[in-house]
């Protein structure tokens, strides 16, 4: 009898501990969902935080947010911004957070504008997070073992390729080459040489324009599976602006990023000593202006490689002339392809978070879409 109870406990424990609370449910089969969801502790999504009241520059590498190296069980991923927020304790240091915590941390730590913070956070959360537990890992794509019958191959997180993470990154290699999320020294050397050539030894928006173009050309020439359509198309350009918007000390306003400081963020998830966040809140409009400066000298339209050196434009992808289509396609195509027939708590959470994702567009000419009904 005791042995039987022991076995049942063991069985329950193995189910309960095998699927982590931050594991993404995206793309799982109905059968997998009905087995996993009952083992999760459901938590309803919090209302997204509002904007900062005080958006001035201030010390953010302060005594309450010292840098500490990530421990062996702490998760880090492809985003140097979120990695840094976690390594300074603006986010939980283990790299597992709620979407609300991520919005708050991006605002407090870097002065990201509320609309942009909400848009990128909820986009990532919808495709890479766990909608039932309300948790997202900032990296952490890992294999699941020990489930009987064996099931989902992977636990999503920001590393998941082609839903948010994508090709032609600044300092991370394309997934085709293997590791798509770690800092890559070869790429940082190119970043450095472009900063020397076009920025007098600093990274600025002129450098960003040239280097973004170079990274695209490089992927066209070497990655037969290079994909450069929405949403990656947008995030690639935005992420080239981010270092200028967020990694420069807020007491400076010249838009020139020192390369040692850049390396600290990209490689070590570390703010310089005494770092002040920007005194400009960078939201969707501001990032759009930066993208314009990068895109104009080398306008590349969305597309993908059909074999090396065979970049084919994709007229179905959203582009910079249609931001609403970015939103609509993300919901109607990307999210729907990952969640075809959600039910119960998952459906409720999905609808709630889709509405939060839409909120930056509220009151605009871009209407909300409801693929799962209102
Ligand atoms: C607020 C929520 C955020 C989310 C969900 C997010 C997510 C991501 C993801 C998934 C990537 C990887 C893209 C790829 O390489 O394929 C990325 C890249 C990047 N993120 Fe974030 N990010 C956020 C905020 C920030 C902030 C606040 C900063 C700056 C302070 C930042 C800076 C960057 C930069 C510079 C890259 C490009 C890295 C590279 O290409 O080498 N992000 N982000
Ligand atoms: C901003 O101020 C309002 C009114 O005082 C307050 O309700 C709100 O919580 C503040 N927001 C933040 C992010 O602190
Ligand atoms: C770094 O990136 C380069 C260029 O994409 C790639 O060839 C190389 O394999 C990457 N290195 C590692 C260690 O992933
Ligand atoms: C970038 O730096 C170069 C070299 O100093 C300069 O010519 C260029 O105007 C700068 N661009 C921006 C946008 O600051
Ligand atoms: C940020 O600080 C710079 C330098 O002190 C100043 O010129 C600029 O007006 C400030 N911007 C904002 C939005 O406060
Ligand atoms: C390039 O891709 C197109 C499809 O977009 C295909 O029809 C064509 O055969 C490819 N060319 C080469 C040289 O692979
Ligand atoms: C998005 O999907 C919904 C429901 O399937 C549909 O009613 C709507 O027309 C679609 N919107 C666009 C712009 O494709
Ligand atoms: C699609 C793909 O190759 N994703 C990879 C991203 O990098 C992680 C860590 O190396 C791999 O586990 C994924 O397979």
Task: Give 92-153 as a DSSP string.
Answer: -TTSEE-HHHHHHHHHHHH-B-HHHHHHHHHHHHHHHSBTTTTBEESS--EE----SS---S
Residue 100: both structure tokens together: 């609300």
- Interatomic CA distance for residues 374 and 273, integer angstroms: 49
Distance 221 CA to ligand 1 centre (A): 24
The residue-averaged pLDDT of 134-162 equals 60
Answer whether residue 312 is part of any domain: yes
- Interatomic CA distance for residues 23 and 35, integer angstroms: 14
The residue whose C-alpha atom lies closest to atom 9 belonging to ligand 7 is 369
Q: Cite the beta strand spans of 308-371 per DSSP E.
A: 311-313
Answer whether residue 355 is part of any domain: yes
CATH number of the domain encompassing residue 180: 1.10.489.10
Distance 255 CA to ligand 5 centre (A): 12
pLDDT over threshold 60, residue 144 = no
The residue-averaged pLDDT of 55-82 equals 96
The residue-averaged pLDDT of 91-95 equals 96
Structural domain of 344 = 20-361
Answer whether residue 304 is part of any domain: yes
State the pTM of this model: 0.92
Mutate to test the pocket of ligand 8, among 140, 157, 163, 179 (most ligand atoms within 8 A of CB): 179
177 CB near ligand 8 (under 6 Å): no
pLDDT over threshold 70, residue 174 = yes
The ligand whose atoms approach the alpha carbon of 55 most closely is: 5
Q: For 253-310, what is each residue's pLDDT tens digit? A: 999 999 999 999 999 999 999 999 999 999 999 999 999 999 999 999 999 999 999 9
Q: For residue 140, what pLDDT band results from cuts at 50, 70 and 90?
A: low
Answer whether residue 1 is part of any domain: no
Q: For 179-225, what is each residue's pLDDT tens digit? A: 888 999 999 999 999 999 999 999 999 999 999 999 999 999 999 99
The ligand whose atoms approach the alpha carbon of 175 most closely is: 8
Answer whether residue 110 is part of any domain: yes
Answer whether residue 6 is part of any domain: no
**Structural domains in the chain (count):** 1
Residues 6+ apart with CB under 8 A from 347: 372
The residue whose C-alpha atom lies closest to atom 29 belonging to ligand 1 is 81
371 CB near ligand 7 (under 6 Å): yes
The residue whose C-alpha atom lies closest to atom 11 belonging to ligand 3 is 184
Distance 78 CA to ligand 1 centre (A): 7
Q: For residue 156, what pLDDT band results from cuts at 50, 70 and 90?
A: low
The residue-averaged pLDDT of 299-326 equals 97
328 CB near ligand 7 (under 6 Å): yes
The residue whose C-alpha atom lies closest to atom 13 belonging to ligand 7 is 328
**Ligand 8 atom at shortest distance from the alpha carbon of 160:** 4
Angle at 241 between CA 273 and CA 367, to 5 degrees: 125
CA distances from 347 to 93, 101, 122, 344, 354 (A): 30, 22, 16, 5, 10
Answer whether residue 220 is part of any domain: yes
Answer whether residue 134 is part of any domain: yes
């Amino acid at each position: 009898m005791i042995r039987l109870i022991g076995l049942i406990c063991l069985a329950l424990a193995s189910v309960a501990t095998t699927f982590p609370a931050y594991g993404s449910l995206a793309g799982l089969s109905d059968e997998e969902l009905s087995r996993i969801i009952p083992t999760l502790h459901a938590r309803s999504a919090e209302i997204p935080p509002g904007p900062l009241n005080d958006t001035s520059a201030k010390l953010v590498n302060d005594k309450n947010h010292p840098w500490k190296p990530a421990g062996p069980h702490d998760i880090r991923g492809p985003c140097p911004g979120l990695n840094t927020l976690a390594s300074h304790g603006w986010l939980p240091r283990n790299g597992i957070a709620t979407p609300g915590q991520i919005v708050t941390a991006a605002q407090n730590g870097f002065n990201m504008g509320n609309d942009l913070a909400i848009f990128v956070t909820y986009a990532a959360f919808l495709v890479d997070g766990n909608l039932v537990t309300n948790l997202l890992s900032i990296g952490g794509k890992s294999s699941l073992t020990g489930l009987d019958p064996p099931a989902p191959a992977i636990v999503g997180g920001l590393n998941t390729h082609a839903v948010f993470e994508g090709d032609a990154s600044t300092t991370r290699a394309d997934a085709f080459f293997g590791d798509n999320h770690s800092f890559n020294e070869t790429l940082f050397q190119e970043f450095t040489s472009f900063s020397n050539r076009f920025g007098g030894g600093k990274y600025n928006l002129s450098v960003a324009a040239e280097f973004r173009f170079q990274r695209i050309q490089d992927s066209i020439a070497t990655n037969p599976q290079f994909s450069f359509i929405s949403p990656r198309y947008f995030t690639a350009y935005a992420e080239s602006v981010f270092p200028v918007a967020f990694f420069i000390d807020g007491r400076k306003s010249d838009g020139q990023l020192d390369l040692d400081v850049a390396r600290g963020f990209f490689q070590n998830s570390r703010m310089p000593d005494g770092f002040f966040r920007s005194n400009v809140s960078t939201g969707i409009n501001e990032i759009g202006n930066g993208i314009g400066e990068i895109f104009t000298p080398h306008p590349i339209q969305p597309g993908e490689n059909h074999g090396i050196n065979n970049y084919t434009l994709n007229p179905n992808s959203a582009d910079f002339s249609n931001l609403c289509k970015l939103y609509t396609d993300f919901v109607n195509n990307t999210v729907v392809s990952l969640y075809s027939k959600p039910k119960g708590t998952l459906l409720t959470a999905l609808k709630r978070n889709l509405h939060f994702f839409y909120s930056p567009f509220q009151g605009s000419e871009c209407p909300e879409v409801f693929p799962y009904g209102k």
